Chains A and B, each alone.
Chain A
Amino acid sequence: MTTLAWWLICAQFRTRRAATLLSMLAIALGVALGYAIHLINDAALADFARAMQTVQGDPDALLAARDSAGSVPLESINDIARDPAVLVIAPVIETRVRIEPARTPVRLIGLDVFSAAAVMPKLLPRQSDRVAGNLFDGGVYVSPALLGQLGLSAGAAVTLRRGDQHWATTIAGDLPGTGPDDLLLVADIAWVQEHFGPANAVSEGRVRLAPATDPASWRAALAGQLPAGLLLRAPDDESARVSNLSRAYRVNLNVLALVALLTGAFLVFATQLTAVAQRSTQFALLGVLGLSPRMRLLQVLLEGLAIGVPGALLGLALGYVLALAFTQLLGGDLGGGYFAGSAPRIVPQMLPALIFLALGCVASLAGALYPAYLNREQPLAQALKIGFAQRPPAGDAQRVRRLLPVLLALAALVLTQLPAIFDLPLAGYTAIALVLVIGIASAPLLTQNVFGGFARRSLPAPQRIAIQNVAQAPLMAQVAASGLIVSFALTASMVIMVSSFRVAVDHWLDEVLPAPLYLRSKSTPLPQELLAALTRPEVPFARVEQSAQASLTIDPQRPNVALLVREIERSHPEARLPFTGPVLAPPAGDIAVVWISEALHEIYRIAPGQTLRLPLLGRAIEVFVGGVWRDYSRQFGAIAISRDDYQRLGGDFQPTDLALWPRPGQEAAATAWLAPYTGQYGLEVADAAEIRRLSLSIFDKSFAVTYALEAAAMLIGLFGLAVTLAASVCLRARELATLGALGFSRRMLSRAVMLEGALIAAVGLFIGLACGIAIGTILTQVINPQAFHWRMSLHIPWPALLAGAGSTLVAAVLASHYAARQATRLPVAQVLASAQ
């Protein structure tokens, strides 16, 4: 039996090379994308974990401030050090400094070398023989990667700068334990504290417990006794936080890969169904000769698998190559911006490879399932006599067929109302799959109902033949249309989603960029010299607004929340923040007001009007939530607070960003006025138009992969149409030859086949457009809010969609020209004579 199966598979590959290869490639594409995304993400996380392990070491717990602007008081470190369960606690001060004249800040870690030896051995410095001073004399130790980047070596004098503070020192050695991508400096904690602060406090305390102590129990016991502004983290919280950071983006990319796989499954479906139809007489003969129904079913499944296995293997190889290429081009976060600067090493992995291989096989088997079922069910005697015959469904089946799309639509509607599951829009994705199934299931109903009516009208012969064929062979029409339905629906939905998002971002940028000019330092405070100069009356600025950004840890396992301290009027915040709903006035008294971003509102289920206890400035501070504002730049939430409130609460406002309004007519003078400061302090200046252009360009780049996939999907859909039409023409060779013998010219036959292709394409595009709008709505209203917490209004770009549909229709007519040529290629007499 295996011999016969093998013969038939080989014959299938020999006789249907193009369709089989394309199906294989579609499966390969899906597997490749999925595997590549997995490899890249896994490598990026491993890379991050390694870098984190270098810097963080291997502690049992980390004591840190919840507020990035805050710090851990030395008394807290000393209290913990006195705990008999604690073997050692290593205090650490971490800050970012510029090494002049470089503009980009790097990490400076101040440590106590004795305790660090127990917890963070990879950060231990190595003294250079050529330098006299050591760690305790105020030397800094630079990672080899940073030394290479700066082109410096031990003994070089450097100036480290953070805002107005600076430290002139010497490179006393390197950090042999750091990795090839680690850009950091290490110095003695006392020296770092002296030059950059904080006084009587540190950034973190890294705890190593006595061997007999259970770290989880110890952390749980101590967590309740800590001051409100401090947090005791487990070392793997950071890994979970980083994994959560890119989770939704990753899942979204994986869903795109699954979509490619789904398209592959549809192509296998079209290929196998047409193959079954074309070979129905042969399968019937094998059935007559004794091939059991089960074996006829298995044969088609095996043929599907014969497409899936090499396709998936090819996909794995392609996925590895793609992963290598993507990490070089886009970095470890695929352009998502989550692990900036990461270019991890890609290592092929056996278990994920097997899982993606299995997924490719499952997709091809799923595609072959219905054709296999039809092959099993074909009545042998009838198929032997007249070839493939689609039996009309019985009364009940017909009713079910009509009801099915309605029931599925209801189910999809219910799914769109469900909340995220494990923080992922799984119900939304299922609703999208259902919409596609509805589209495909409704194709035969539409063709029968619309074209059945047309076929009864008086029409010229070619048109009548074409319309009758579409109306009477709904299964073939369904197969031919299904590829277009899926590909156009997905393309249209992405166009709708991207367009809605772009329009929303465009409007949002209008609101969040009120000033003509912006200046920022990179994570370090702006120099006082500049801030003081800006207060002079002769400056070319009519107005200057300062803001600072820090971060808060609300949930250690989730990414940090941004804290924006801005010059906002408490009574009129809508002048600076794009609110999505009403702005509530705070209750009487001196409670601070914060305005939260949509993401924070959704992730932490915080509503306007509530009071919150925020871990701010080393304590839990009660604040009033005055409203929710739209923020497309911080996916994990942001809290805005007015500068006045922040300072009233005791916060040290150190601005990092400026919004500048040059006086009318003094725009050029304003830029020239800023130039000396930007050069001296490594600051960045950009005008609003430039920021807008850059933002939209980043937006467009991040969707570039999607556009490529859309183009691939459309090509696959068109090819599916051409293949199915060609197969359908091949099945009707005798019928077409008979028409030729009866007096149809080649031109008339060709026109009939092309019209048939155009009608099927029109049905596919119409349904595809309807499904695309439905899926686009789900993407913008369900998937984006649930996965990324981005809400936006639906914007349907009709001109782009209709132009896309029109050009696809033209392409479909051209594709059906191929089928028409097949139909008229052979001489009529030969076809009739060879007909069995």
Chain B
Amino acid sequence: MLTVSGLSKRHPRASRPLFSALAFHIAAGEIVALVGESGVGKSTLLNCIAGLESADRGAICIGPQALDIVRLDETARAALRAQHIGFVFQAFHVLPTLNVAQNISVPLLLCGVPAGEHASRTQVLLERVGLAGFGERWPASLSGGELQRVAIARALVHQPALILADEPTGNLDPRTAGEVLSLLLERVREQQTSALIVTHSQPLAQCCDRILALTPDGLQ
């Protein structure tokens, strides 16, 4: 579902590349943890995979058609993200001006799922993340854990091929983090989706199928 090959990135005024010639593959349904020290380039790698930053060299092939996001223009990258990628962020990033159900259905709108299916699919996801009855609530009235559940539901609602998660439990207390983590892994496995999870948390990393460690010398 995700194949990275020969990926290199150097920041404009940096003396050495952030990473070079990275290569790895994540199979369908596989959950991979990406660990590494701060500043090593984990988030940049995630951004490159999502097409939010440009790589200097290499290829990143995503989804069933193995489209190389590096070669796509901005519009095509946006379309690929809408169709095949789901995101979970450390800072939740839930739209404060939309209610919970509307937040979850945003990816459905973006990838053109018929409007008739929105309510049912959103409802199913709300139940699966333990937020049944929260659809009409506004984000401001939710706790951090609940907001992250909304983000997980939103990441999964359009059944993407790949989930990219950047420190998904970083802003949560240990108990809530555990609950959210279990939920995320459970739902990802249930949907047979691939996932790449950037984390500093060893317990989280241990729960994944595989761990990739990014160091200044490359992936290990």
Contact = CB atoms under 8 A, between A and B. Distances in A.
Most buried by B among A4, A289, A380, A836: A289
Contacts of A380: 52
A157 interface: no
Interface of A: 1, 3-4, 7-8, 11-12, 14-15, 281-282, 285-295, 379-381, 384, 836
A15 B97 contact: yes
Nearest to A294: B75
Contacts of A7: 97-98, 102
Given A7-B102, A289-B106, 16 more contacts: A7-B97, A8-B97, A11-B98, A282-B95, A285-B93, A286-B95, A287-B78, A288-B50, A288-B81, A289-B87, A289-B107, A289-B154, A290-B82, A290-B83, A384-B93, A836-B92
A741 B47 CA distance: 32
Interface stretch (B8-16, B109-117, B211-219): B109-117
B50 A4 contact: no
Contacts of A1: 109-110
Contacts, number: 71
A285 B96 CA distance: 12
Nearest to A14: B97
Given A11-B98, A836-B92, A292 B74 contact: yes
B79 interface: yes
B19 interface: no
A295 B110 CA distance: 10
B79 A292 contact: yes
B106 A384 contact: no
Nearest to B44: A381
Interchain residue pairs A-B with the least CB separation, the first 6: A290-B82, A11-B97, A292-B78, A836-B91, A290-B110, A381-B52
Given A289-B107, A836-B92, A381 B79 contact: no
B53 interface: yes
Contacts of B89: 384
Nearest to B74: A293
Contacts of B78: 287, 290-293, 295
B131 to A, nearest CB: 19
Contacts of B83: 290
Contact of B110 (A8, A12, A289, A294): A289
A4 B98 CA distance: 10
A748 B74 CA distance: 45
Interface in B2-24: none
B102 A281 contact: no
A293 B72 CA distance: 13
Nearest to A3: B109
A288 B106 contact: no
A6 to B, nearest CB: 10
Nearest to A295: B78
A143 to B, nearest CB: 65
Contacts of B43: 381
Contacts of A11: 95, 97-98
A690 to B, nearest CB: 64
B95 A285 contact: yes
A381 B47 contact: yes
A291 B75 CA distance: 8
22 contacts: A1-B109, A3-B115, A4-B106, A8-B97, A11-B98, A14-B97, A15-B97, A282-B96, A286-B110, A288-B50, A288-B81, A289-B154, A290-B78, A290-B82, A290-B111, A291-B78, A291-B82, A292-B78, A294-B75, A295-B78, A381-B53, A384-B89
A729 to B, nearest CB: 18
Nearest to B115: A3
A1 B112 CA distance: 8
Given A288-B52, A289-B81, A289-B87, A836 B93 contact: yes
A289 B79 CA distance: 9
Contacts of A285: 93, 95
Nearest to B95: A282
Contacts of B93: 281, 285, 384, 836
Nearest to B155: A289
Contacts of B50: 288
B47 to A, nearest CB: 5
A15 B47 CA distance: 31
A281 B97 CA distance: 12
Contacts of B98: 7, 11
A292 B75 contact: yes
A292 B47 CA distance: 16
Nearest to B107: A289
B91 to A, nearest CB: 4
B75 A286 contact: no
Given A11-B98, A282-B97, A384-B89, A290 B81 contact: yes
Nearest to B89: A384
Nearest to B52: A381
B52 A290 contact: no
Contacts of A12: 97
Contacts of A15: 97
B50 to A, nearest CB: 7
Most buried by B among A285, A291, A295: A285
Contacts of B111: 290
A15 B89 CA distance: 25
A392 to B, nearest CB: 14
A757 to B, nearest CB: 26
Given A7-B102, A281-B93, A293-B74, A288 B87 contact: yes
Nearest to A292: B78
Nearest to B80: A290
Contacts of B115: 3
